[in-house]
Protein backbone atom coordinates (compact mmCIF):
# COMPACT_ATOMS: atom_id res chain seq x y z
CA UNK A 1 0.00 0.00 0.00
CA UNK A 2 1.21 3.44 -0.78
CA UNK A 3 2.46 5.27 2.27
CA UNK A 4 2.06 8.98 2.93
CA UNK A 5 5.77 9.38 3.63
CA UNK A 6 6.71 8.09 0.26
CA UNK A 7 4.27 10.41 -1.47
CA UNK A 8 5.42 13.44 0.50
CA UNK A 9 8.98 12.68 -0.52
CA UNK A 10 7.96 12.61 -4.15
CA UNK A 11 5.98 15.79 -3.65
CA UNK A 12 9.16 17.57 -2.59
CA UNK A 13 10.87 16.42 -5.75
CA UNK A 14 7.96 17.49 -7.90
CA UNK A 15 7.63 20.91 -6.34
CA UNK A 16 11.32 21.74 -6.51
CA UNK A 17 11.51 20.66 -10.11
CA UNK A 18 8.29 22.50 -10.89
CA UNK A 19 9.51 25.75 -9.37
CA UNK A 20 12.83 25.55 -11.18
CA UNK A 21 11.19 24.74 -14.49
CA UNK A 22 8.67 27.54 -14.15
CA UNK A 23 11.23 30.16 -13.25
CA UNK A 24 13.57 29.13 -16.03
CA UNK A 25 10.75 29.59 -18.53
CA UNK A 26 9.82 33.10 -17.43
CA UNK A 27 12.27 34.88 -19.69
CA UNK A 28 11.03 33.28 -22.89
CA UNK A 29 8.02 35.53 -23.37
CA UNK A 30 8.23 37.95 -20.48
CA UNK A 31 11.42 39.72 -21.49
CA UNK A 32 10.32 40.82 -24.93
CA UNK A 33 6.70 41.76 -24.61
CA UNK A 34 7.19 45.05 -26.41
CA UNK A 35 8.72 43.36 -29.41
CA UNK A 36 5.86 40.94 -29.56
CA UNK A 37 3.25 43.69 -29.32
CA UNK A 38 4.94 45.76 -31.97
CA UNK A 39 5.41 42.91 -34.39
CA UNK A 40 2.01 41.40 -33.78
CA UNK A 41 0.49 44.79 -34.58
CA UNK A 42 2.09 44.50 -37.99
CA UNK A 43 0.24 41.27 -38.61
CA UNK A 44 2.99 38.69 -38.16
CA UNK A 45 1.94 35.18 -37.35
CA UNK A 46 1.54 34.78 -33.62
CA UNK A 47 1.58 31.02 -33.96
CA UNK A 48 4.94 31.20 -35.75
CA UNK A 49 6.28 33.40 -33.00
CA UNK A 50 4.99 31.08 -30.31
CA UNK A 51 6.14 27.87 -32.02
CA UNK A 52 9.60 29.22 -32.63
CA UNK A 53 10.04 29.98 -28.95
CA UNK A 54 8.64 26.64 -27.96
CA UNK A 55 10.94 24.71 -30.27
CA UNK A 56 14.04 26.50 -29.12
CA UNK A 57 13.02 26.32 -25.49
CA UNK A 58 12.29 22.64 -25.73
CA UNK A 59 15.95 21.93 -26.39
CA UNK A 60 16.95 23.65 -23.16
CA UNK A 61 14.08 22.01 -21.27
CA UNK A 62 15.25 18.67 -22.58
CA UNK A 63 18.79 19.22 -21.33
CA UNK A 64 17.59 20.44 -17.94
CA UNK A 65 15.30 17.45 -17.51
CA UNK A 66 18.01 15.08 -18.63
CA UNK A 67 20.40 16.43 -16.03
CA UNK A 68 17.74 16.41 -13.33
CA UNK A 69 16.46 12.91 -13.99
CA UNK A 70 19.89 11.39 -14.46
CA UNK A 71 21.05 12.67 -11.09
CA UNK A 72 17.81 11.76 -9.37
CA UNK A 73 17.75 8.30 -10.86
CA UNK A 74 20.84 7.41 -8.87
CA UNK A 75 19.21 8.42 -5.61
CA UNK A 76 15.74 7.00 -6.14
CA UNK A 77 16.76 3.87 -8.06
CA UNK A 78 13.29 3.14 -9.45
CA UNK A 79 12.41 -0.27 -10.74
CA UNK A 80 11.41 1.00 -14.15
CA UNK A 81 13.59 2.17 -16.98
CA UNK A 82 15.56 5.38 -17.16
CA UNK A 83 13.67 6.40 -20.25
CA UNK A 84 10.32 6.10 -18.47
CA UNK A 85 11.65 8.06 -15.53
CA UNK A 86 12.99 10.73 -17.83
CA UNK A 87 9.74 10.92 -19.79
CA UNK A 88 7.72 11.66 -16.70
CA UNK A 89 9.95 14.49 -15.66
CA UNK A 90 10.03 15.80 -19.18
CA UNK A 91 6.26 15.94 -19.19
CA UNK A 92 6.26 17.90 -15.95
CA UNK A 93 8.92 20.28 -17.25
CA UNK A 94 6.85 20.89 -20.35
CA UNK A 95 3.75 21.61 -18.26
CA UNK A 96 5.59 23.89 -15.86
CA UNK A 97 7.23 25.81 -18.66
CA UNK A 98 3.74 26.48 -19.97
CA UNK A 99 2.76 27.81 -16.56
CA UNK A 100 5.82 30.03 -16.71
CA UNK A 101 4.85 31.33 -20.13
CA UNK A 102 1.36 32.20 -18.97
CA UNK A 103 2.54 33.89 -15.80
CA UNK A 104 5.20 35.86 -17.64
CA UNK A 105 2.59 37.36 -19.93
CA UNK A 106 0.13 38.42 -17.25
CA UNK A 107 2.36 39.45 -14.34
CA UNK A 108 4.59 42.56 -14.40
CA UNK A 109 8.21 41.68 -14.85
CA UNK A 110 9.38 43.21 -11.58
CA UNK A 111 7.41 40.76 -9.43
CA UNK A 112 7.42 37.93 -11.88
CA UNK A 113 9.89 35.56 -10.23
CA UNK A 114 8.32 35.89 -6.80
CA UNK A 115 4.78 35.35 -7.99
CA UNK A 116 5.75 32.50 -10.28
CA UNK A 117 7.50 30.67 -7.46
CA UNK A 118 4.61 31.32 -5.15
CA UNK A 119 1.94 30.15 -7.57
CA UNK A 120 3.90 27.05 -8.49
CA UNK A 121 4.69 26.13 -4.90
CA UNK A 122 1.28 26.83 -3.45
CA UNK A 123 -0.55 25.28 -6.36
CA UNK A 124 1.67 22.24 -6.32
CA UNK A 125 1.36 21.85 -2.56
CA UNK A 126 -2.30 22.48 -1.87
CA UNK A 127 -3.75 21.06 -5.05
CA UNK A 128 -1.64 17.93 -5.15
CA UNK A 129 -4.16 16.09 -3.02
CA UNK A 130 -1.63 14.95 -0.45
CA UNK A 131 -1.05 18.03 1.63
CA UNK A 132 -3.39 16.85 4.35
CA UNK A 133 -4.00 13.27 3.48
CA UNK A 134 -5.13 11.89 0.18
CA UNK A 135 -7.78 14.46 -0.55
CA UNK A 136 -7.94 13.49 -4.18
CA UNK A 137 -8.70 9.89 -3.35
CA UNK A 138 -11.20 10.98 -0.74
CA UNK A 139 -12.99 13.14 -3.27
CA UNK A 140 -13.00 10.35 -5.82
CA UNK A 141 -14.39 7.94 -3.28
CA UNK A 142 -17.06 10.43 -2.31
CA UNK A 143 -18.07 10.87 -5.93
CA UNK A 144 -18.20 7.14 -6.51
CA UNK A 145 -20.28 6.63 -3.38
CA UNK A 146 -22.50 9.54 -4.34
CA UNK A 147 -21.78 11.28 -1.07
CA UNK A 148 -19.83 14.09 -2.63
CA UNK A 149 -20.37 17.77 -2.09
CA UNK A 150 -19.73 20.75 -4.34
CA UNK A 151 -16.41 21.26 -2.59
CA UNK A 152 -15.38 17.74 -3.55
CA UNK A 153 -16.18 18.37 -7.18
CA UNK A 154 -14.43 21.72 -7.25
CA UNK A 155 -11.41 20.19 -5.58
CA UNK A 156 -11.35 17.49 -8.16
CA UNK A 157 -11.48 20.01 -11.00
CA UNK A 158 -8.68 22.07 -9.56
CA UNK A 159 -6.56 19.01 -8.95
CA UNK A 160 -7.07 17.89 -12.50
CA UNK A 161 -5.29 21.04 -13.66
CA UNK A 162 -2.35 20.69 -11.30
CA UNK A 163 0.97 19.27 -12.35
CA UNK A 164 1.78 17.82 -8.94
CA UNK A 165 -1.28 15.64 -8.79
CA UNK A 166 -0.54 13.99 -12.14
CA UNK A 167 3.12 13.54 -11.33
CA UNK A 168 2.32 11.91 -8.00
CA UNK A 169 -0.07 9.61 -9.78
CA UNK A 170 2.59 8.72 -12.31
CA UNK A 171 5.39 8.16 -9.81
CA UNK A 172 3.18 6.23 -7.41
CA UNK A 173 1.76 3.95 -10.04
CA UNK A 174 5.12 3.45 -11.67
CA UNK A 175 6.69 2.55 -8.35
CA UNK A 176 4.46 -0.48 -7.86
CA UNK A 177 3.39 -1.21 -11.37
CA UNK A 178 6.35 -1.30 -13.68
CA UNK A 179 5.61 0.67 -16.77
CA UNK A 180 4.76 -1.72 -19.50
CA UNK A 181 4.06 0.76 -22.24
CA UNK A 182 6.02 0.09 -25.36
CA UNK A 183 6.79 3.69 -25.97
CA UNK A 184 8.31 4.37 -22.62
CA UNK A 185 10.08 1.15 -21.75
Chain residues binding other proteins by CB under 8 A are: 9-10, 12-13, 16-17, 20, 23-24, 27-28, 31-32, 34-35, 41-45, 47-49, 51-53, 55-56, 60, 63-64, 67-68, 71-72, 74-77, 109
- 69 vs 162, beta carbon nearer other proteins: 69
In whole angstroms, how close is the CB of 46 to other proteins at the nearest point? 10
In whole angstroms, how close is the CB of 79 to other proteins at the nearest point? 10
Q: Which of 89, 97, 92 is nearest to 30 (CA)?
A: 97
Q: Which of 51, 50, 59, 163 is nearest to 105 (CA)?
A: 50
- 77 vs 147, beta carbon nearer other proteins: 77
Tell the burial category of 175 from Cβ atoms under 10 Å away from its Cβ (0-12, 13-18, 19+): middle
In whole angstroms, how close is the CB of 127 to other proteins at the nearest point? 20
Write the CA distances from 59 to 36, 47, 54, 113, integer angstroms. 22, 19, 9, 22
CB-based contact 151:64 (threshold 8 Å): no
Helices (H), 25-81: 26-30, 33-41, 46-76
In whole angstroms, how close is the CB of 161 to other proteins at the nearest point? 24
- 30 vs 129, beta carbon nearer other proteins: 30
In whole angstroms, how close is the CB of 58 to other proteins at the nearest point? 11
Helices (H), 107-134: 112-126
CB-based contact 3:81 (threshold 8 Å): no
- 108 vs 145, beta carbon nearer other proteins: 108
- 67 vs 154, beta carbon nearer other proteins: 67
Amino acid sequence: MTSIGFIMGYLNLIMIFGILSTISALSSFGSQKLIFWRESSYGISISAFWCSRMVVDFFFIFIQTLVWSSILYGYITPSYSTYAFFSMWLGQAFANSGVGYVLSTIIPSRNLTLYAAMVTALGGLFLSGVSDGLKYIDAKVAIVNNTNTIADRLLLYFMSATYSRWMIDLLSVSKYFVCSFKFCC
